[in-house]
Amino acid sequence: MQFEFEFYSSEIERIEADSGDLRVHFSAAHLNRSAPGGARVPGYAGKLVMRFSDARWSGEPERCIGGLADGSLSVDGLRQTRFALPLNASGSIVVEFRLISGTQLSVQAAQVSCEPPKPDQFIESYAC
């Protein structure tokens, strides 16, 4: 099963930082699942964690709780607002989180990773 993470409409539960590592825990990650015939099935999954190694950040991680209005991931200058899971990239990593509350967090790191959800964690969205 293939998944694509999308920043918009994802929700951050908490952020943990220690010794140059940063972990962003999502209570609801906005995902698209690949369906037969190439169709995308939108939905959500909890318990996803985006991990950053050798990270520096600007902003206040402890204030980054809630829904994302926007965000992006840049790997070696290539910017994207959605990406395939699993994610395991290294190089010049820059991630921007912009929350609905107006809070912003920018992360620069040497490596970023995020595992896909287990199939039973994905909840299909029926929103119109």
- CA gap 118, 120 in Å, rounded: 6
- CA gap 93, 55 in Å, rounded: 9
Closest of 12, 93, 27 to residue 60, by C-alpha: 12
Q: Scan for tokens 């190089």, then name that residue.
A: 91
Residue 37: its pLDDT value, please? 81
Closest of 125, 126, 128 to residue 30, by C-alpha: 125
Q: What is the mean pLDDT of residues 10-27?
A: 96
Using pLDDT thresholds of 50, 70 and 90, give the confidence band for residue 128: low
Among 92-101, 103-112, 113-122, which stretch is predicted with the lowest mean pLDDT?
113-122
Residue at 45: amino acid letter: A
For 28, the token pair is 């609801």
Residue at 125: amino acid letter: S
Using pLDDT thresholds of 50, 70 and 90, give the confidence band for residue 7: very high
Distance of CA 32 to the CA centre of its chain: 13
Residue 1: its pLDDT value, please? 60
Residue at 59: amino acid letter: G
For 123, the token pair is 């909840």
Residue 125: its pLDDT value, please? 86
Quick: pLDDT tens for 50-67: 999 999 999 999 999 999
Quick: pLDDT tens for 21-50: 999 999 999 999 987 787 889 999 999 999
Q: What is the mean pLDDT of residues 83-91?
A: 97
Output the average pLDDT for the chain: 94
